[in-house]
Structure 1
């Protein structure tokens, strides 16, 4: 009987392979249908040529790139350990599936627009683009779940959280005691390795509010936290902004005009972040550069020219996230913003 680890491996690989191949086939079939309608003839030769071409592309990409890279990653463990900060599987999905899918999504409307603009639908079908983003997110979830078992409970490390909170409270009490003695604000002199005296000031420690803990009853069941469930929640929530931007592309005022291109281009650029590992130190800055900052200009331009077809809430989110990131990470290091102030609880 196959082991649980082998079953998990096979299921994950089949899910990733399906997510890699199905979106491209669906988008290309949609493109073939749109192209067939513009010809106004009963002959279906061009339709089947496009469909067969998409099947050939998916098969070639799978056999020549996907499978060799997968085998190489599983066989060469030393090579896999050298890959840090980014994920080859996600790069293959973005480059070989998402990029062509977005390109042919634009081509669907362009073919209909150039032939007869009256055949354009009121709204673009949501299924193909939603399928592309959903499968991409699912591959991201599968890659994150690989290190966790699918059976058994994943307990929350409450003891470490309690110990950390208690330590912070003890440190704060010590500092408050020193402040009563007048020593907290006194600069301390330290000797550097070169023998030079340097002046340092103790940085106050911020304590978080104490949260309740439940040990029995229904509240204990409701307070359970499992990292595996949080992976599903976090993966979809983190891409909600890109999903909303792609949804805007289905508005008639967008896809019937030239605004379809910047919406899809910047949505694709924002998806580049999924290539990097979740704990990459550069991920926060890349989120600002690849998503929030470009979305500010795209959303602001759409609101000014086409009206509120995109929610103002999304624009506020992009502006606040960008400004807060720049202020707390860079401006607070300047002298005028460097004074540390303790806020009251």
Structure 2
């Protein structure tokens, strides 16, 4: 009998392969239809040629790139040891998302008559981004079993969360006990250099902060009758966070599909910076460079694009999104750099 692990593996690989092939064919078909409608008289041969080229492209990528990379990952275990980035998502970004965005931009440039303009409908564009999100979910979800419960302390460390993960829970004393400790504990023992002692103190403080946060969480006593509602499974969080992280990019791409934006030069910066914002999906969520790349590739350029579009064409996008970009950029710079100045450098003690 086939094990559950093999079934999950087969389903995941089929979904990833479909996410690699389907968006390119769908977007290419819509571009071929726009190109066919543009010509006078209607040339059905161009439609067939573009569609056939897209199918041939998908077949070549699958046989030359996709299959060998998967063989190296699961048979040779060469790329499977990579911990900082995700090869599967890199393939989807280069061989699926990039040509799809190219077809969308080309579809805006082959049309010259605004009265007969045909934009890409919401389905092809949403399909490209949704398939990328599905691949991201699968890459995070394949580390977990889909049946049964998981340990809430997340001991194996495979789950990448945006916050600290507790790997070792010890008995936590009260906050007052931490504050009333003798001063002698903060003195360096003989034979220990100043740098080693400072590093040790910093690690102890970080560990105490995690213990204090965990003690606050465990203080909430849930009645037995409500425990069925107080659930918090990490596997469900994977779906939520993977979708929410890309709503900003989805909104900017939606603006590019508006009729008064689609045929203008604004489509170039919108899709170029939208693609750059997608590049951060290659890194694991625990990568220390991910917050900086999010600000540099997404929030900072998106802020200027949205302000410029609002100034040129009015409120084609909700004001909530540029406000979100401003808040993210300002808070990132303030808490990571400004607070390190001498006048603001006050370390919190727990």
TM-score by length of 1: 0.86
What does residue 212 of structure 1 align with?
220
Q: Do the aligned residues in 1 keep the contact of 2:277 with 2:297 (CA within 8 Å)? A: yes
CA RMSD of aligned residues (A): 3.0
Change in Cα spacing, 1:120 to 1:177, as seen in structure 2 (3 Å) is same
Post-superposition Cα deviations, 1:28-62, rounded to whole Å, max 9, x if no partner, equal: 00010000001132441111001000000000011
Q: Do the aligned residues in 2 keep the contact of 1:93 with 1:136 (CA within 8 Å)? A: yes
Post-superposition Cα deviations, 1:270-327, rounded to whole Å, max 9, x if no partner, equal: 0001111121111111111111111111111112222221221111111111111111
Query: Which aligned runs of 4 or more in structure 1 are off by greater than 3 angstroms?
Result: 157-161, 163-166, 175-178, 186-196, 202-211, 340-343
Q: Do the aligned residues in 2 keep the contact of 1:90 with 1:140 (CA within 8 Å)? A: yes
Distance 2:147 2:326 in 1: 42
Distance 1:3 1:148 in 2: 15
Distance 2:247 2:229 in 1: 25
Pairs aligned (count): 331
Distance 2:248 2:62 in 1: 30
Distance 2:97 2:64 in 1: 18
Distance 1:254 1:43 in 2: 27
Distance 2:318 2:83 in 1: 37
Change in Cα spacing, 1:224 to 1:36, as seen in structure 2 (3 Å) is same
**Match status 1:138 vs 2:134:** yes
* C-alpha displacement of 1:158: 10
Post-superposition Cα deviations, 1:144-165, rounded to whole Å, max 9, x if no partner, equal: 111111111224239998x959
Q: Do the aligned residues in 2 keep the contact of 1:248 with 1:254 (CA within 8 Å)? A: yes
- Within 5 Å, which residues of 2 pair with 1:274-285? 274-285=281-292
* 2:284 partner SS: coil
**Match status 1:117 vs 2:132:** no
Change in Cα spacing, 1:158 to 1:6, as seen in structure 2 (3 Å) is closer
Distance 2:176 2:80 in 1: 47
Post-superposition Cα deviations, 1:181-207, rounded to whole Å, max 9, x if no partner, equal: 9x69x98567674589x999x888664
What does residue 94 of structure 2 align with?
95
What does residue 300 of structure 1 align with?
307
- Within 5 Å, which residues of 2 pair with 1:154-233? 154-157=150-153, 167=172, 169-170=173-174, 172-177=175-180, 193=192, 207-208=212-213, 209-210=216-217, 212-217=220-225, 219-233=226-240
Moved more, 298-307 or 268-277: 298-307
Distance 1:86 1:228 in 2: 20
- Within 5 Å, which residues of 2 pair with 1:243-254? 243-254=250-261
